[in-house]
A and B are shown apart, each in its own frame.
Chain A
Amino acid sequence: MSRARIAIVASLVIAFVIVAGVLVYANQSHGGQKVTIDVTVTKAGSMTPSDLTAHRNDTVTINIKSDTTGEVHLHGYDIPFDCVAGQTVSHTFTADKTGDFEIEWEETSTHLGHLVVTP
């Protein structure tokens, strides 16, 4: 394999890596905001709204009101919401992890929704 040929391919790959890197870091978060989300859980089986969103480094407050007593669990952040029927339970945290995190009714592992934290 001649050096000139390797140089052509290597320079193309390096150009791609740089462009991809610039694109990734130029589109970083607009986070750092305060975000409050009110959700309602019905019959330990559904949640409204079911898709919650935030940006990285937002300060997120989730208020959950459930008609059933039990635990709603936010995976990834590993936050338990110990709900009491008819009352609102809140947690505030910094969204320092990006990803798609499932929210479950813990006792039955019933899927309720997601918290999507984007870069």
Chain B
Amino acid sequence: MIPSIGILLHGFGQRYDLPISRYLYFVAAGFVVVISFVLVVVFAGEKIGEKAVQYPRRAVPWLTSLGRSPWPPAIGGVIGVLALAAVIVSGFLGSQKHPELNPAEYIVWIYFWAATVILSGLIGNLWYLLNPWAAIYDAASRFVPLRPAYRLPAIAVWPAVALYFSFACLELTSGMSNRPWIVALAALSYTCLTLAGMVLYGRDAWLEQCEAFTVLFRIVGRFGPVESERDESGRISAVYIRPWGVGLLKDPPVGWDRVVFVILMLSTLAFDGVIATPAWQDFDIALEPIWLPLGASGFFFIRTLGLVLLTVAFLLVFIAVMQAVLYFGSRKVDRKATVSAFALTLVPIALVYNAAHNYSYVMVQSQGIVPVLNDPLGLGWHLFPSVAGYTPSFALAQASTVWYAQVILIVLGHIVAVYLSHLRAGERFRTMQRALLSQYPMLILMVAYTWISLTILAAPTTTGG
């Protein structure tokens, strides 16, 4: 028998989702194939060379004024710091027996991890405003001169990769993400690490290379429609609006660390869905003789092994496909730069899957914090008696609405990804024929990823799922 820790999905709480109905699944899966080939044929050779990755954007003066104002970072910083404080205080002092009554669980797993990622994809990099550690550092540096004592070695963003993987393990493989005191301890530890890192190695160096969420939200923010430009002093000089997704074409950072980070985004999201399927439960049960005697650490081991294997499989498939892309592109290009640039074109698939997967979680379960506000620490308070009896509304999360939203999100994300990849091929491979040929392997990969997304959403869920 699988212990109760085995039923955690997302970070905490229950999912009410029903699997997408079969007819919708088949219509969406078929449409993905049709639209993929239509896109390739319709847009073949439309843009070649540098022109291919140029995109329209429009300056928005009032957004520029807002960007230059000190108020958005100040307000965002206060919200971020208050949320962090709430996680630590309520995580340690609030209800431990009933995590659904503890604000720390809602703030971390729903409002931060699910909702902020979705909103950053829709709007732009919100973490730039909300990052509590940057806000604390900036506030402290007004009173105490902070000079970095050391320089970070040339380790690219590998520390951020490792910390992002650790966070994914806390959510998906530890079996402890629904223990508020563990969440609070993780938040406190990460706070100490990040503040110490910024003091010792410099604010920007630490955030850009080691702070996992800064790296993550910069990638997510590239998908968003808001783009800012800065002058030499780092001050915002202009803010533009652009179509969704095209920011992923702009000056892609180069390195295997960046590629692994994007693949981790895909694999961790997929894994959250995979562990809810009967197939995973069968795998769990088949390996019970190995992990069950080890108890909680055995559970952690088997889940982490699954996550690592899925990530390695995704990475190997991506590398193999990129070999084919480079072969058919048949032009001398910087391989690492090209692979890094194409990795970013997978981001829309990851983001729309994230939005589809978490749709009802954000719409319904997020409302669970409302009655908790009456007594956030479980001490018998009556701060807001009028909300104590609130029950979540399902108005925007009936199954048919959820299915419709999920399928449309997945298909639109797929279209954006295929189109971006097509433009990137035009930029790198410089002739219509080479760009077109190089796109067939990438197309197969994207169709496969999208089918995986749809299949997970259409799979029946198991206990707690």
Contact B35 A12 (CB under 8 A): yes
Q: Are A78 and B400 in contact (CB under 8 A)?
A: no
The segment out of A23-31, A32-40, A58-66, A81-89 that lies at the interface is A23-31
Contact of A24 among B4, B14, B391, B403 (CB under 8 A): B403
Give B325 Cβ to nearest chain A Cβ, in Å.
23
Contact in complex: A20, B400 (CB < 8 Å): no
| CB proximity of A44 to chain B, nearest CB, Å | 14
- For residue A76, give the distance in angstroms from its CB to the closest CB of chain B: 5
Pair B404/A27 contact, Cβ less than 8 Å: no
Contact of B464 among A9, A20, A102 (CB under 8 A): A102
* CB neighbours of A100 from chain B (8 A): 15-18, 461, 465
B268 to chain A, nearest CB (A): 23
Check: B283 CB closer than 8 A to any chain A CB. Answer: no
Contact across chains for B400 and A98 when beta carbons are under 8 A apart = yes
A24 near B24 (CB under 8 angstroms)?
A: yes
Complexed CA–CA distance, A61 and B260 (Å): 52
Residue of A5, A102, A116 touching B43 (CB-CB under 8 A): A5
Contact pick for A16, options B21, B23, B31, B398, CB 8 Å: B31
Stretch at the interface among B157-165, B231-239, B407-415: B407-415
Q: How far is the CA of A98 from the CA of B17 in the complex (A)?
A: 8
A17-B426 Cα distance, complex, nearest whole Å: 29
The residue that A23 contacts in the complex, of B7, B24, B391, with Cβ under 8 A, is: B24
Residues of B within 8 A of A75 (CB): 14
B34, A23: Cβ atoms closer than 8 Å: no
Q: Mark A1-16, 1 if CB is under 8 A from B, else 0.
A: 1100100110011001
Known: A5-B42, A12-B34. A111 touches B464 (CB 8 A): yes
B180 to chain A, nearest CB (A): 15
| CB neighbours of B7 from chain A (8 A) | 111
Residue among B31, B398, B400 facing the most chain A CB atoms (10 A cut-off): B400
Q: Which of A50-102 contact B (CB under 8 A)?
A: 56, 75-76, 78, 96-102
Given contacts A100-B15, A100-B16, contact A27 B39 (CB under 8 A): no
The reply to whether B408 and A20 form a contact with Cβ atoms under 8 Å apart is yes
Residues of A within 8 A of B465 (CB): 100
Q: Please, which residue of chain A has its CB at the minimum distance from the CB of B55?
A: A1
Q: How far is the CA of A16 from the CA of B398 in the complex (A)?
A: 21
Distance of A75 Cα from B14 Cα, bound (Å): 9
- Whether B17 contacts A20 by the Cβ 8 Å rule is no
> In the complex the two chains form, what is the Cα distance from A56 to B391 in whole Å?
18
Interface code B34-71, partner A: CB below 8 Å = 1, 0 otherwise? 11001100110010000000000000000000000000
Q: Which residues of B sit under 8 angstroms from A110, Cβ to Cβ?
A: 4
A42 proximity list for chain B (CB < 8 A): none
When the two chains form their complex, are residues B46 and A20 in contact, meaning their CB atoms are under 8 A apart?
no
Alpha-carbon separation in the docked complex, A27 to B26 (Å): 15
Chain A nearest CB, measured from B100 CB (Å) = 9
Q: How far is the CB of A119 from chain B (nearest CB, A)?
A: 5
The chain B residue sitting closest to A101, CB to CB, is: B16
Q: Are A12 and B23 in contact (CB under 8 A)?
A: no
Chain A residues lying within 8 Å of B24, measured Cβ to Cβ, are 20, 23-24
Tell me whether B411 and A16 are in contact (CB under 8 A).
yes
Q: Are B27 and A99 within 8 A (Cβ)?
A: no
**Is B463 close to A, CB under 8 A?**
yes
Query: Does B399 make an interface contact (CB < 8 A)?
Result: yes
B381 within 8 A of A: no
B residues 378-410 in Cβ contact with A at 8 Å: 391, 394, 397-400, 403-404, 407-408
Tell me if A118 and B35 are in contact (CB < 8 A).
no
Contact partners of A19 in chain B: CB under 8 A: 27
Select from chain B the residue with minimum beta-carbon distance to A16. B31
Known: A17-B408, A102-B464. A27 touches B46 (CB 8 A): no
Docked complex Cα distance between A5 and B39 (Å): 9
CB pair A119–B400 under 8 Å, yes or no, is yes
B28 interface residue (CB < 8 Å to A): yes
A25 contacts across to B, CB distance below 8 A: 400
Q: Are A9 and B403 in contact (CB under 8 A)?
A: no
Known: A99-B17, A101-B16, A116-B18. A9 touches B415 (CB 8 A): yes
Residue of A nearest to B4 (CB): A109
Give the distance in Å from the alpha carbon of A101 to the alpha carbon of B18 in the complex.
10
By the criterion CB–CB under 8 Å, are A1 and B46 in contact? yes
Given contacts A1-B46, A99-B17, A111-B464, contact A12 B404 (CB under 8 A): no
Other A-B pairs beyond A23-B27, A99-B17, A119-B398, 14, CB < 8 Å: A9-B38, A12-B34, A12-B35, A20-B28, A21-B404, A24-B24, A24-B403, A75-B14, A98-B394, A102-B14, A109-B4, A111-B463, A116-B18, A118-B18
Give the 10 A-B residue pairs with the shortest CB-CB distance, closest first: A99-B16, A98-B399, A97-B394, A119-B400, A24-B400, A16-B31, A119-B399, A98-B398, A5-B42, A24-B404
Interface, chain A (partner B; CB < 8 A): 1-2, 5, 8-9, 12-13, 16-17, 19-21, 23-25, 27-28, 56, 75-76, 78, 96-102, 109-111, 116, 118-119
**Can you list 17 A-B contacts (CB < 8 A)?**
A5-B46, A8-B42, A9-B35, A9-B39, A12-B34, A17-B408, A56-B398, A78-B391, A97-B16, A97-B394, A98-B398, A99-B16, A99-B397, A102-B464, A111-B4, A111-B463, A119-B398
